[in-house]
Structure 1
Amino acid sequence: MTDLTGVIPPATTPFDAAGDIDFAAAGRQIDWLIGEGAHGVAVGGSTGEGQTLEAEEFRDLVQAAADVAGGRAPVIAGIITDSTREAVRRGRLVRDLKVAALQVTPVHYLFRPGDDAMVEHFRTLAGETGQQILIYNVVPWTYLSPALLLRIMDEVPAVIGVKQSAGDLKLLADLMADVK
């Protein structure tokens, strides 16, 4: 397991004129972030256009980031999908790429799955990928409450933290107050 501490910024995903990932530019960005003191980098999240990438593009981006990081700083792979099945698929694609953790949004549909289904989503993802997981709590219509986040972390030991991105400081304060 990799300890994740400090500042871990999200990386953008640069594209060329044809709409393909510019891996050379991505590599320069990762190298620059680490060189400037970032304690790790997150790729493939919302800032990195992860929701628009095909699964194989996502894998290749994570591989490029891991190659450039070269063990100097941990790499976190962002997974933003609409289903547990696709989240598992992407997690498996990067399982052997030396990522420190998967940063995963809750399942998000036009309706909000129940709390038990949310717990099962993360339990399945952890079991099927064998990876550490950070919950990326950003999707407004499936925003997870502090109580549910703590329940998931309690019931699914592979869930090691939360990237709280909804901008609600009261909910962040509630989460911090309840963390043991």
Structure 2
Amino acid sequence: MNFDGIWTPVVTPFTQDGSVDLDVMEKIIDALIGHQVNGLIIGGTTAEYYALSKDERKQALTFAAEHAGGRIPIVAGINATTTEECLELGRHAKSIDYDAILVPAPYYCQPTQDELLEHVRCVDDALDMPVMLYNFPDRTGVPMSLEFIEALRDRPNIQAIKESTGSIERMHVLANEFKDQIQLSCGMDDQVLEFFTWGARSWVGGASNFLAPEHVALYQACVVEQDFVTGREIATRLLSILNLLEQGGKFCQYIKYGCELAGFPVGPARRPLLPLNDEEKANFKSAYDALVAHRDRS
């Protein structure tokens, strides 16, 4: 499977009573398809999968698959604390025709590299679907070592990795020494220009939920046209927001506030995450308004 392009990890909207708001999810999916992102990820970190019940996760996966209706490739986030629960979610995704699965390290239990390898092999054997690995040790507590990736070389379904460590050195190694094995996808938004410069052709960008035109334009400039002067100009306009997302400590809250500013009221993040304060909202809105003003002038 080709993971080129902008992949949006879709937010999970909530109603006032805290249930999943499928009406708003429908509007977001339609808007993203209209903005020509390349694919959708349902059930990733941006979707707050860890805060959803299993039934809610299956509900969101089913609704997104039915509403997307083959108009765009879709990837299912299936992470959980146990292999069996991952498999249950993966089997559900496969039964409703998802194109691929997103596989991080199971969180909290902190498997060793050998245990993580066995986990991924088990998922691959059971589901036989294209896999994008998701390396985010700050969230899961466990890195995906280079030796771990090398050990999956004989697994053709393991096709891409969303790299979210923030290590430029590691990104260089993946871009150069593993380019024939696995496709590199940017998972560190404030480093996207560096990823594209080093040959990445894929970006899983949470802010594309509400800034899809800028994400698509940056991909078009850097990857399709190889115009890094224009790419740097676009990245510079995005950087204040991307820095807030990656360094502000409130990723999901900022994404959801961005959606609200873009006309998609998606509700708050689930507790224990708390809403942004007035100063945080003002700083974010200032950066957002500047981007939209530039878009309107273009």
- Paired residues, number: 177
> How far off is 1:113 after superposition?
2.4
| Mapped partners of 1:151, 1:130: distance in 2 | 17
Report the equivalent of 1:147: 147
| Identical aligned residues as a percent | 28
Q: Report deviation, 1:156.
A: 2.7
Q: Given the alignment of the two structures, is residue 133 of structure 1 paired with residue 156 of structure 2, yes or no?
A: no
Corresponding residue for 1:40?
39
Aligned equivalent of 2:173: 174
Q: Please tell me whether the aligned partners of residues 3 and 160 of structure 2 are also in contact (alpha carbons under 8 angstroms).
A: no
Task: Give the 3-state SS of the residue equivalent to 1:62 in structure 2.
Answer: helix
Deviations 1:115-158 (A, max 9, x none): 22211101111122232211111133201123322322x13322
Q: Which has the larger radius of gyration?
A: 2
Indicate if the aligned counterparts of 1:108 and 1:139 stay in contact, CA closer than 8 A: no
Cα distance change, pair 68–9 in 1 and its aligned pair in 2 (3 A): same
- Any stretches of 5+ residues in structure 1 without a counterpart? none
Aligned twin of 1:69: 68
Q: Shift in Å at residue 166 of structure 1?
A: 2.0
Aligned mates of 1:150, 1:29 — CA distance in 2: 37
Q: Is the 8 A contact 2:113 2:145 kept in 1?
A: no
2:276 is matched with: none
CA distance in 2, matches of 1:105, 1:69: 24
Name the stretch that deviates more: 154-163 or 81-90.
Answer: 154-163
* Alpha carbons 1:122, 1:156 under 8 Å: kept: no
CA contact (8 A) 1:4 1:74 kept: no
Output aligned runs, 1:18-97, within 5 Å. Answer: 18-97=17-96
Gaps of 5+ in 2: 181-298
Note if 1:113 corresponds to 2:107.
no
Match of 1:13 in 2: 12
Whether the 8 Å CA contact 1:13–1:49 is kept in 2: the answer is yes
Cα offset, 1:109, TM superposition: 3.2
Partners of 1:84 and 1:133 in 2: CA distance: 15
1:76-131, CA deviations, whole angstroms, 9 ceiling, x for partnerless residues?
A: 11122111111111111221111111101112335x42222211101111122232
Select between 138-147 and 5-14 the one with higher mean Cα deviation.
138-147
For residue 52 of structure 1, report the CA deviation from its aligned partner.
1.4
The 2-side partners of 1:167 and 1:30 are apart by: 28
Length-normalised TM-score, structure 1: 0.90
Deviation, structure 1 residue 165: 1.5
Considering only aligned residues, what root-mean-square deviation do their CA atoms show, in Å?
A: 1.6
In terms of fraction of residues, the more helix-rich structure is 2
Cα distance in 2 for residues equivalent to 1:24 and 1:18: 14
Q: Contact between 1:102 and 1:133, CA under 8 Å: does it hold in 2?
A: yes
1:98 paired with 2:97, answer yes
- 1:131 partner amino acid: M
Return the letter of the residue paired with 2:3. L
Please tell me the residue identity of whatever aligns with 2:148.
L
Higher relative contact order (CA 8 A, sep 6+): 2
Between the aligned partners of 2:89 and 2:120, the Cα distance in structure 1 is 14
Q: Once structures 1 and 2 are overlaid, which stretch shifts more, 143-152 or 99-108?
A: 143-152
The offset of 1:160, in angstroms, is 1.3
Cα deviation, residue 173, structure 1: 1.4
Contact 1:43–1:76 (CA under 8 A) maintained in structure 2: yes
In 2, the alpha carbon distance for the partners of 1:73 and 1:125 equals: 24
Structure 1 position 56, deviation (Å): 1.9
